[in-house]
Chain A
Amino acid sequence: MELLSGGEMLIRALHDEGVELMFGYPGGAALHIYDAIFNQDKVDHILVRHEQAATHAADGYARATGKPGVVLVTSGPGATNAITGIATAFMDSIPMVVISGQVDSSLIGSDAFQETDMVGVSRPIVKHSFMVQKAEDIPAVVKKAFYIATTGRPGPVVIDVPKDVTDPARKFEYRYPESVKMRSYSVPAKGHTGQIKKAVEILLAAKRPVIYAGGGVIQGNGSELLTRLAQTLGFPITNTLMGLGAYPATDKQFLGMLGMHGTYEANMAMHFSDVVLGIGVRFDDRVTNAVNKFCPGAKILHVDIDPASISKTVAADVPIVGSVTSVLEEMLELIGSADARVDSKSLELWWQQIEGWRAKQCLKVKSAEGETIKPQQAVQSVYKATRGEAYVSSDVGQHQMFAAQYYHFDKPRRWINSGGLGTMGFGFPAAIGVQLAYPDAISVCITGEGSIQMCIQELATCLQYGLPIKIVCLNNQALGMVKQWQDMQYGGRHSHSTYSESLPDFIKLVEAYGHVGMRIEKLSELDSKMEQAFALKDKLVFIDVAVDQAEHVYPMAIKGGSMKDMWLSKTERT
């Protein structure tokens, strides 16, 4: 058997786990580990410029590929800088393993230099965490960490590694375990057949059904089966912000996104439905609006792998705990063999009603005066220039909602966005993770001039690794979403949401980092310049688009109302 040090075991274990790429930033407590990285070439390490970016990049990689993202940081400030990214991954159930250096075991608890109780600090935002006690435990801990991070409802796992445990002078026999056995952790596999039967009966008898699918379908690789189910039944389907791409957006059965900034037709269909099939969703407050007014006439069928998600905010009439693929497969089989057929008469009437709502064209863009570019038009232009084939990451704000509404995702794992935590600064590093996972794909970050400044230092990382990301900045010279709320709820008092006099010259900035900058100010030039930017295939291009500063995102749910209560424009409400 081979003799390896703790640091070497750690890296070897990552390789044996199938890890090809990790994101990190070195420091004292992690230096033995970094030395072990130096001496091998199996696991690549990407040096970011801030640990927050390491976690977001690993997260973007995980969302795009379905494989776990891996992060390595040092103790103290390295570990705390990673916290925002861990919380982001936790809220969206993204598989991630974060290895943090820690001070020597003998110093723990002494307020040593760069000591932070990482297990304690991260506790509420991880699926689980480990503190390695001795080097011999490393292979088993790594195996368990990946198993926990990637199975069931996925999530981030922290491994805190005291420096002495990775000491290069102390070698141990290394063997990577083939399987994990944990008596206290089991993964729900198949849903309860009786419950699934009940759900299918209700679906087949439904008169005004709607399928409400979310990020769980993408995480659980259930998009194909979901598409089959929706098309077999002929039911209308809507996706959450996290679920975009779970069902092809350009298909006619798709009603668009639902929720706070969802389409009129999706929210109306939810409200007036008699059966809601929720799959891989969690009835988030950004979807339901006031819970006590939610879908008053509907039976709720809820499929999720996490029992704690079911009946958390909205009580389910038929709860089904199981993986989306196993449940959808069983549903399809049962529908195929059932004597009953969908109530096509009622369904036709239902579709007529939905088409009526759709005719409102709630997302129709009204051009501004003259050459002013509407932010929606900028997203439409990106869609055209990328033929709808890009991986699109986004930050948080109006631009994020416009991206979600106007870039039509036909495939899963193409829309990379921080839905649960809503982390500004996520988009750009996430696009780095995507580009590294798929070097030949188009990786776009649709961002705002506010958000991009939260992780802008990663321009250096892109130069170092030659990442030709396209950054499309919808520059409204303001924290637009904040300003919108202030317009609507605070009498237009723009408290600390504008800064137009102090914005950097983004073109010069990206040029200083060795990239290409482009500014688009006229509507007549929008599409041609966008094409030009995307034609620069080997370059990172920062496309700074001056957009209408007064624009709001609509539709917008009216707080305290039901899903049918929406503002459709500054003056029109339902």
Chain B
Amino acid sequence: MRHIISILLENEPGALSRVVGLFSQRNYNIESLTVAPTEDHTLSRLTITTIGDDRKIEQITKHLNKLIDVVKLVDLTEGSHIERELMLIKVKATGAQRAEIKRTTDIFRGQIVDVTSTVYSIQLTGTSDKLDSFIAALGNAAVLEVARTGVTGISRGEKVLSL
């Protein structure tokens, strides 16, 4: 099963490489990884999506917790949560396709953020599935470039990941 693990990490040199190194060293896979500072400048927040059975995920979280730089972590997929990924996608848009792509973008509530006479650059936010569906829905329109941020997430309700 796919899991989303969010981590508060000491904002120290080498901290990120310890997390990433753990995954390769123990043969765990990383589907996506995002990292950025938080409102507290001593902490970064890292979100990793990974795939594994319960036993493997338990090992992953235990080993992450053992890293000295990991201050706190939560497996968001254990409870209800909100997950988002942002995608910037550049597609060839000429002739009749221009209107078609615009319509599809509206349906998915995306925005066209840059335009040339032959190219649209579109921004879209949502779950990873939604982004995948959008690409599929573009059908035979030529996709020139895709930039995705990877998943980030937060628990629903009162639950917070903080110190």
Contact = CB atoms under 8 A, between A and B. Distances in A.
B66 A306 contact: yes
Interface residues of A, number: 20
Contact of A123 (B21, B55, B62): B21
Interface of B is mostly: helix
Given A124-B25, A307-B62, A308-B63, A185 B14 contact: no
Contacts of A120: 14, 17
A481 interface: no
A235 to B, nearest CB: 29
Interface string B1-43: 0000000001001100110010001000000000000000000
Given A184-B10, A308-B63, A128 B71 contact: no
A185 B68 contact: yes
Contact of B68 (A131, A148, A308): A148
Interface in A304-343: 306-308, 311-312, 315
Contacts of B25: 124
Given A119-B14, A123-B21, A311-B58, A182 B68 contact: yes
Contacts of A312: 59
Contacts of A131: 13-14
Contacts, number: 37
B68 A184 contact: yes
Nearest to B10: A184
B163 interface: yes
Contacts of A307: 62, 65
Q: Size range of the interface on B?
A: 10 to 19
A487 B59 CA distance: 38
Nearest to A133: B13
Contact of B18 (A123, A148, A183): A123
A308 B66 contact: yes
A184 B70 contact: yes
Most buried by A among B13, B21, B62: B62
Nearest to B163: A183
Given A119-B14, A131-B13, A308 B59 contact: yes
Interface string B60-95: 001101101111000000000000000000000000
Nearest to B68: A128
Nearest to B8: A184
A273 interface: no
A405 interface: no
A11 to B, nearest CB: 25
A131 B163 CA distance: 26
A182 B13 CA distance: 16
B41 to A, nearest CB: 15
Contacts of A182: 68
A166 interface: no
Nearest to B14: A119
Most buried by B among A184, A185, A312: A184
B13 A183 contact: no
Interface in A257-316: 306-308, 311-312, 315
Contacts of A185: 68
Nearest to B21: A123
A291 to B, nearest CB: 12
A148 B70 CA distance: 14
A127 B22 CA distance: 12
A129 interface: yes
Contacts of A315: 55
Contacts of B71: 183-184
Interface in A98-145: 119-120, 123-124, 127-129, 131, 133
B55 A311 contact: yes
A184 B69 contact: yes
A185 B72 CA distance: 10
A311 B68 CA distance: 22
B21 A124 contact: yes
A148 B66 CA distance: 11
A70 B70 CA distance: 26
B151 to A, nearest CB: 24
Contacts of A133: 13
Contacts of B17: 120, 123
A131 B15 CA distance: 12
Nearest to A315: B55
Contacts of A124: 21, 25
B152 to A, nearest CB: 21
B71 to A, nearest CB: 4
Interface in A143-194: 148, 182-185
Nearest to A128: B68
27 contacts: A119-B14, A120-B14, A120-B17, A123-B14, A123-B18, A123-B21, A124-B25, A128-B68, A129-B14, A131-B13, A131-B14, A182-B68, A183-B163, A184-B10, A184-B68, A184-B69, A185-B68, A307-B62, A307-B65, A308-B59, A308-B62, A308-B63, A308-B65, A308-B66, A311-B55, A311-B58, A312-B59
Interface of A: 119-120, 123-124, 127-129, 131, 133, 148, 182-185, 306-308, 311-312, 315
Given A124-B25, A128-B68, A184-B69, 8 more contacts: A119-B14, A123-B17, A123-B18, A131-B13, A183-B71, A184-B70, A311-B55, A311-B58
- Those 6 A-B pairs whose CB atoms lie nearest each other, nearest first: A308-B62, A184-B71, A128-B68, A124-B25, A185-B68, A307-B62
